[in-house]
Chains A and B, each alone.
Chain A
Amino acid sequence: MTAQVQTIRSPGDRGVWAWITTVDHKRIGLLYAVSAAAFFFIGGLEALLVRTQLLGPNLEVLSAEAYNQLFTMHGLTMVFLVVMPIAAAFTNYFLPILIGARDVAFPRLNAFSYWLFIFSGLLIYSSFFLGGAPDGAWVGYAPLSTQLTEVVRMDFWTIGLSTLGISSIAASANFIATAFTMRAPGMTMLRMPVFAWMSLVVAFLLIFSLPSVAIGLFQLFLDRNFGALFYAADAGGDPLLWQHLFWIFGHPEVYVLVLPAMGIVSEVLPTFARKPLFGYPFVVFSGAAIGFIGFGVWSHHMFTSGMGPIAEAGFGVATMIIAVPTGVKIFNWIGTIWGGKIKFNTPMLFSLAFVAMFVIGGLSGVTHAVVPSDTQQHDTYYVVAHFHYVLFGGAVFGYVSGVYYWFPKWTGRKLNETLGKIHFWLALIGFNLTFGPMHVLGLNGMPRRTYRYPEGLGWANWNAVATIGAYTILVAFLVFAWNIVRTHYLNKGERVGNDPWDGRTLEWTIPSPPPVHNFDETPIVHSLDDFWHQKYAENEEGRAVRMPAVTGAADDQGDIGRADHGTPEGIHMPSPSYYPALASLGIAITGGGLVYLPWGFAAIGVGVVVMLWGLFGWSLEPVTKEH
C-alpha cells in the first residue's frame, strides 16, 4: 500500500465511467438526487393524468386499465423512487460531513445500494413496455395481487420492491455503521445534528421493518409463480396475513419518508431564525420515539378489515400516542423561531410551510385513529388528502427546503431567490388547491382508486378544483427545474463562499463543493452547532455576538469549486470500483428473469453469475488499489 496516494481516487474525475465506478458518498448522493428528480417528474406526470381523468364525471381520458396502472405506479414511484431516494441523497451527502467523517463506513456498499435502486426502478418501469405496469395499488392487497397469474404486472411489483428492499437494507446498515463508528473526535451522539440523528433513526426503521414486507412479497411471488397457497382463501390461506406483513413495514415506512425531512427542517429553522434549535434533546428523542412507537401501530390501516374490537381499540389508542412526540417537535420548532430574527429566504419558507402543512396532515391522521370515524374515512379521498398533506406538504416541502438550503454546498452557487419565491407560492397554493378539496370529497363519500365517478354525487366541482391545483403544482416545479438549470448549468447563479447562510454545522466549514476527502483535517468537535460557536459567543443577555474572524467564515470567496484545495499528502480514499454496479446489475437481471418464469431461468442463470462475479470481485479487491 502506497503512502503517497492522493485523494484523487480514479484515473480521471470526469466522464460516465467515473460516475459508474464512484464510491464517493457525495457523488452517490448526487446520483440519488438526480434520479429522484427524474422519477418525481414521471410520478408527477402520472398524477396529472390521474387528475385529468378525474376532472369531471365519467370522463374517458384514461381507460380503467390505464388508470389503475397509473395510480399504482404513481404511489409506488413517489414513495420508493422519489422520497426514499431523495432522503438517501441527503443522507449520503451530508451524514458523513455532518459528523465530521471523510466517507460512509462502506463506500462500495453505498455504490451498490444506489445501483441496485436505479436498476430496480428501471426494472419496474420496463413493465410499461412489457405487458403493462403493476395495477394492484401500491399496497398490493392479496388475493387481488395473486389473482391474475397469466399477467406479469404484479410480478414486476413483487420483484421490484424486493430488490429495492435489499438496496435499502444495505444502505441502512451502512448508515448505522457510519453514525456509530465514523464520528469525528468530540462528536458525541448528542452533538450530532438533528438531520444526522433522523437519518440514523430512519436506518433503524428500515432495517427492522423491511424484512417483514420482504417475506410477504416472497410469499406473494411463490403464490403467483409456484402455486403456493399463502393467500388462497379456498385452501385456508388468510388474506389478512399480507396486510399485517405489509403494514408492519408500511407504517414505519411513512416515518421513513418524513423523518429526514423533519431533520432538514430542524437544521433550517435555527439557521434562518439565528437561534439554536429549541429543546435539541427533546427533538432528537421525540424523533426516536416516533420511530419506536411507529412499530406498534400498523393495524390502523386495517380498521375495517375485521380484526375484532379489542385489537382495533388497542391500535387506535396506540396510534394517537404518536401525536405526542410529533407535537413535541412542532412545539419546539415554533419555540425555535420564537424570539428569533427570521430571514424569509426560500429554504426558510419551505420549512415553515412544512410545519404548517404537516400539522394539517397530522391532525387528519389523528382523526383516522378514531376508529368509528375511520370506518367512514378509510379508503376515501379523505385518506388521500391526509397522506398528501404529510407526504407532499410535509416530506416533499422539507426536501425542497433542503435543496434550496444545501444547493450552494453542492455547486458553489445559490439558487435564485425570486424564482424560489415564485416556486414557493405557486407550490403552496397549488398544493392546497389540489389536496384541500379532497378532504371534502372523501367525507362526501368518494372512494379512492376509482377511475370514474357518476354525476349527481356532488363530487364534480371539488374534483375540478383539485385538478387545477395539480397543474399549478406542475408550473411551480417547472419554475424550480428552471431555477436549477439556470443556476447550475447556465452558470447564472450567484457564487457564494463556504458559508452563505451563516450556518451552524460542519458542512459550512468546508469548501463548496467539498473536496473528495471532505475535511483537510479531521475536525475536533467541541459542542453542538460547533461552527456557530466558533463564530459567535453569547453576551450576558444571552444574545449572540460575533467573534473576531475565524477561518471558513461567510465571506471567504477564495476556493470555490477547487476540489484540490489544501489537500495534504497521504489522505487516501477508497479506489473506485465497478464491482458494486456489476453485482447490482446481476441482481436486477435475476429479478427480470424471475418475472418471466419459466423461461426466465436463462436470465436468472446469467444474472446470478454476474452477481457472484461482482460480489466476489468486490469482497476480494483491496479497498485502496495501488496505482
Chain B
Amino acid sequence: MGEAIVRARYQTTPRLGRLLRVVPVILLLAACSGSGPQTALEPEGPIARDIDGVWDLVLMLATFVFVLVMGLLVWAMWRYRERPGDETEPKQLHGSSVIEVGGVVFSVVLLAFISVPTVRGLLDIRAVPEGDDVLHIQVTGHQWWWEFEYVDETAADGRTLITANELHIPEDVPVYLTMTSADVIHSFWVPVLNGKRDVVPGRVTNLTLIADNPTPPDEPIPGQCAEFCGLAHADMRIKVHVHDAAGYAAWVDEQLLPSEQPAPETALDAGWQTFNTLCTACHQVTLEDVEGEVTTHGPERYITSDDIEFRSSFGPNLTHLFSRDTFGSGTFTLDADHLAEWIDNPESLKPMWADRNDLANGRVLGMPDLGLSSAQIEEVVDLLETWR
C-alpha cells in the first residue's frame, strides 16, 4: 500500500463521528486490505526470510492437521447425527489401542518434522555475525524512545555517533545490535528485518539486522517496541532507513559534524539561552560555537550492563534533530508547528508521566511541560530548525 504510513500525523479524532464512519465500510475493506509495511510475512532481509521459511513450513503442517481433524469431526457429526425414526442404539465402542498408538505416532512424527527447522533456524538467527564489514551499534531502550550509539563511527575528537529513534543502516551489511535498557524491559522489533529481541535492564542482548535494499527516503521501514513498558508503550516506534554504501557514508559524515551554536546577540541566541538553561537538563547537543570550539552540552550518562558501557542521556540527542522525519519516537511528523505544539504541552500529544521524573535517580518518564511562553517556544523551534 503506497500511503505515507510513517507520516501518519497525530490527530485528535471526534469520538462518535469516527466510530460511526468506520463501521459500514469495514467488512468490505477487510477483505482487500494488504499486509502493510510492518508485516512479518513479507521479509526484506535474509534473516527475516529464514524465519518466514520456517513459518511457511509450520503453517503448512498445521493446516494439514487442521483440515484432517476438522474433516473427521465434521464428517462424524454429519454421518452419525441422530435421524428421526431410528430406534437402534449405537454400538458401545470403548476404545482401540491401535487408534491411540496411531494418534501418538502421527503426532510425534509431525512434531519431529517441525523440531528440526526449529532448532536449526534458532541457531541461525542467534549466530553472531563475523567479518570486517559487520556494523556494531549499541541500542539503549528508554521509556519511551530508542537511543542508538554507532560505536564504529567516531568523529576526530573520539565522539561516537549518537542518534535516536531513526536507525540508518547500509544495505546488505550485517548490523549487529548490542542492546540494553535504561529502565524497564523493552523489545526491539523491526519485523521485515528480523524477529524481536527483548532489551533488558542489567543485561545485554543482541540482534542482527540485514536489509536487502535501500529504502526510499520518505518510506523507512517501521518497527515498534514489542514488550509492554508502561504508559506510552504504543508510541515507542522505530524507523529504519536503509542506504546504499555511499548514502550511508554520507549520512555518517553529516551526523558526526557538530551543529552550530548561535553567536551571542544574534536572533537565534534567545532560543539558545532558553535551550541551554532548560532543555540541556535532559538532552545532549554537540555544537560548534563562533570560535570554532566544539562542545557537547547536556548530561553525560553511562549505563553499564554486563561490563559493556552504553553512552546515553535522559532525552534524545538533538544535534541533528531536523535531519529526522519524525519525533516522539517515530510517532509524529517533524515540522515546526508540530514541534511547537509538543514543547508547549508534550503530554497532549503523547502520554507520559513527566511529573514523576526523578533525574537524580535516573528515572525519566517523559518530557515535562517547561512552561515556556509562546514567544520562547517560537525562539527555541527556530533554533532547532537550524540543527539539520
Chains A and B bind each other: yes
CB pair A342 B82 closer than 8 Å: yes
Q: How far is the CA of A18 from the CA of B197 in the complex (A)?
A: 55
> CB distance B73 to A339 under 8 Å?
no
| Cα A273 to Cα B90 with chains together (Å) | 8
Residues of A within 8 A of B201 (CB): 143, 233-234, 239
CB closest chain-B residue, reference A331: B103
Kindly state the separation between the CA atoms of A143 and B125 in the bound complex, as whole angstroms. Answer: 27
Sort A-B residue pairs by CB-CB distance and give the 7 closest, nearest first.
A375-B195, A458-B36, A233-B202, A456-B5, A445-B38, A450-B234, A233-B201
Does residue B230 face the partner (Cβ distance < 8 Å to A)?
A: yes
**Chain B window 89-120, contacts with chain A (Cβ cutoff 8 Å), 1 for yes, 0 for no:** 11111111001100110111001001101110
Query: How many residues of A are counted as interface, with CB atoms below 8 angstroms from the partner's CB atoms?
Result: 117
Which residues from 2 to 30 on chain B have a C-beta closer than 8 Å to any C-beta of chain A?
A: 3-8, 10-13, 15, 18-19, 22-23, 26-27, 29-30
Complex formed: what's the CA distance from A64 to B121 in Å? 37
Q: Which residues of B contact A (CB under 8 A)?
A: 1, 3-8, 10-13, 15, 18-19, 22-23, 26-27, 29-30, 33-41, 48, 50-51, 54-55, 58-59, 62, 65-66, 69-70, 72-73, 76-77, 80-82, 86, 88-96, 99-100, 103-104, 106-108, 111, 114-115, 117-119, 121-126, 181, 183-185, 187, 189, 191, 194-198, 200-203, 205, 222, 224-235, 305, 331, 351, 353, 356, 362-363
State the CA gap A64–B41 with chains docked (Å): 29
19 further A-B contacts with Cβ under 8 Å, apart from A341-B86, A372-B54, A379-B226, are: A144-B229, A304-B198, A317-B115, A328-B107, A335-B96, A338-B76, A344-B82, A363-B62, A370-B114, A370-B118, A372-B117, A372-B118, A375-B194, A376-B195, A437-B30, A454-B8, A461-B26, A461-B33, A464-B30
- A443 B39 Cβ-Cβ under 8 A: yes
The reply on A407 being an interface residue by CB < 8 A is no
Residue of A nearest to B206 (CB): A306
- Inter-chain contact B36/A445, CB cutoff 8 Å: yes
> Is A274 touching B73 in the complex (CB atoms < 8 A)?
no
Q: Which residue of the partner chain B has the closest CB to A367?
A: B58
Known: A458-B34, A459-B36. A239 touches B200 (CB 8 A): yes
Look across to chain A and name the residue whose beta carbon is closest to the beta carbon of B202: A233
0 or 1 for each of A355-382: is its CB under 8 Å from B? (1 = yes): 1100110011011011111111111100
Kindly report which residue of chain A lies nearest to residue B350, judged by CB atoms.
A64
**Using an 8 Å CB-CB cutoff, how does the interface string of A50-71 with B read, 1 for contact, 0 for none?**
0010011111110111001000
Cβ–Cβ < 8 Å partners of B231 in chain A: 64-65, 68
A347 to chain B, nearest CB (A): 15
Binds B, one of A5-13, A102-110, A541-549: A541-549
Question: Are B93 and A148 within 8 A (Cβ)?
Answer: no
Are A279 and B58 also in contact (CB < 8 A) when A64-B234, A309-B123 are?
Answer: no
Residue of B nearest to A63 (CB): B351
CB pair B232–A64 under 8 Å, yes or no, is yes
Report yes or no: A58 in contact with B114, Cβ–Cβ below 8 A.
no
Which chain A residues border B27 with CB–CB below 8 Å? 465
A327: interface (CB < 8 Å): yes
A456 near B76 with CB under 8 A, answer no
Give A49 Cβ to nearest chain B Cβ, in Å. Answer: 13
**Inter-chain contact A458/B189, CB cutoff 8 Å:** no
Cα–Cα, bound, A538→B88 (Å) = 12
Task: Assess the B234–A445 pair: CB atoms within 8 A.
Answer: no
Contact B35 A444 (CB under 8 A): yes
Partner of A462, one of B4, B33, B225, B353: B33
Which A residues lie within 8 Å of B226 (CB)?
Answer: 304, 378-380, 447
| B356 and A445 within 8 A (CB) | no
Bound Cα distance A338, B78 (Å):
10
A356 to B230 Cα, complex, angstroms: 36
Given A68-B231, A339-B91, decide whether A148 and B356 contact each other with a Cβ distance below 8 A.
Answer: yes
User: Do A237 and B89 touch (CB < 8 A)?
Assistant: no
- The distance from the CB of A119 to the nearest CB of chain B, in whole angstroms, is 28
Interface: A323 (CB within 8 A):
yes
Which residues of B lie under 8 Å from residue A448 when comparing CB positions? Answer: 228
Which residue in chain A gives the minimum CB-CB distance to B12? A60
Given the complex, which residues of B lie within 8 Å of A374, measured CB to CB?
A: 195
Chain B nearest CB from A134 CB (Å) reads: 12
Residues of A within 8 A of B92 (CB): 275-276, 538, 542-544
Contacts of A543 in B (CB 8 A): 88-92
Contacts of B118 in A (CB 8 A): 313, 316-317, 320, 369-372
Q: Are B93 and A150 in contact (CB under 8 A)?
A: no
A 308-332 binary contact with B (CB < 8 Å = 1; else 0)? 0100110011001101100110111
Complex formed: what's the CA distance from A150 to B227 in Å? 23
Asked if A356 contacts B51 (CB within 8 A), the reply is no
Q: A304-B197, A371-B121, A376-B55 are in contact. Are A141 and B228 (CB under 8 A)?
A: yes
CB pair A306–B200 under 8 Å, yes or no, is yes
Among B40, B72, B100, B119, point to the contact of A313 (Cβ < 8 A): B119
Q: Nearest chain A CB to B321's CB is how many angstroms away?
A: 21
Q: Considering the chains assembled together, what is the distance between the CA atoms of A359 and B235 in angstroms?
A: 35
Task: From the candidates B66, B76, B228, name the one contacting A137 in the complex (CB within 8 A).
Answer: B228
User: Is there an interface contact between B351 and A455, defined as CB atoms closer than 8 Å?
Assistant: no
Residue numbers in A under 8 Å from B86 (CB-CB): 341
Chain B contacts of A452 at CB under 8 A? Answer: 234-235
Q: Which chain A residues numbered 47 to 97 have a C-beta less than 8 Å away from chain B?
A: 52, 55-61, 63-65, 68
A609 within 8 Å of B by Cβ? no
Chain B residues, Cβ within 8 Å of A334: 69, 72-73, 76
Which residues of chain A come closer than 8 Å to B224, judged between CB atoms?
A: 445, 447, 450
Bound-state CA distance A469–B7 (Å) is 30
| Contact status B111-A323, CB under 8 Å | yes
Instruction: Note all chain A residues with C-beta closer than 8 A to B5.
Output: 454-457
The answer to whether A332 and B95 touch across the interface, beta carbons within 8 angstroms, is yes
> Closest CB of chain A to B302's CB: distance in Å?
12
Q: How far is the CB of B383 from chain A (nearest CB, A)?
A: 29
Can you report 25 residue pairs joining A to B where beta carbons are below 8 Å apart?
A65-B351, A136-B228, A148-B353, A148-B356, A233-B202, A240-B203, A305-B198, A306-B205, A316-B122, A328-B103, A337-B76, A339-B91, A352-B77, A359-B70, A367-B59, A371-B119, A372-B118, A373-B121, A444-B41, A448-B228, A451-B234, A457-B37, A457-B222, A458-B37, A464-B22
Q: Are B51 and A372 in contact (CB under 8 A)?
A: yes
A222-262 toward B: CB 8 Å interface, digit per residue (1/0)? 00000000000110111110000000000000000000000
Bound state CA distance, A238 and B264, in angstroms?
49
Residues of B within 8 A of A464 (CB): 22-23, 26, 30
A59 and B36 within 8 A (CB): no
Which residue of chain B is the closest to A56 with respect to CB atoms? B22
Partner of B55, one of A278, A367, A444, A546: A367
> Is A282 among interface residues, defined by CB-CB distance under 8 A?
yes
Q: Are A457 and B107 in contact (CB under 8 A)?
A: no
Chain B CB within 10 Å, residue with most, of A234, A306, A449: A306
Q: List the B side residues contacting A327 at CB < 8 Å.
A: 103-104, 106-107
| Chain A residues in 8 Å Cβ range of B185 | 141, 143-144, 239, 305
Give the residues in chain A near B233, CB-CB below 8 Å. 447, 449-450
A279–B119 touching, CB < 8 Å: no
Let me know if B95 and A445 touch, CB within 8 A: no
Distance (whole angstroms) from the CB of A450 to the closest CB of chain B: 4
Would you give the shortest CB distance from A442 to chain B, in whole angstroms? 9
Knowing A59-B15, A282-B100, say if A341 contacts B93 (CB, 8 Å): no
Contact of B15 among A60, A445, A468 (CB under 8 A): A60
Chain B residues whose CB sits within 8 angstroms of the CB of A64 once the complex forms:
231-232, 234, 351
Q: Contacts A58-B10, A276-B94, A367-B62: A443 and B41 contacting too (C-beta < 8 A)? A: yes
Residues of A within 8 A of B48 (CB): 376
The answer to whether B196 and A465 touch across the interface, beta carbons within 8 angstroms, is no
* With A274-B90, A279-B95: A342-B65 Cβ-Cβ less than 8 Å: no
Question: Please, how many angstroms separate the alpha-carbon atoms of A49 and B228 in the complex?
Answer: 19
A334 to B119, CA, bound (A): 32
Write the nearest CB–CB distance from B48 to chain A, whole angstroms: 8
Contact A359 B66 (CB under 8 A): yes
Q: Contact between B189 and A447 (Cβ–Cβ < 8 Å)?
A: yes
Closest B-chain residue to A274, C-beta based? B90
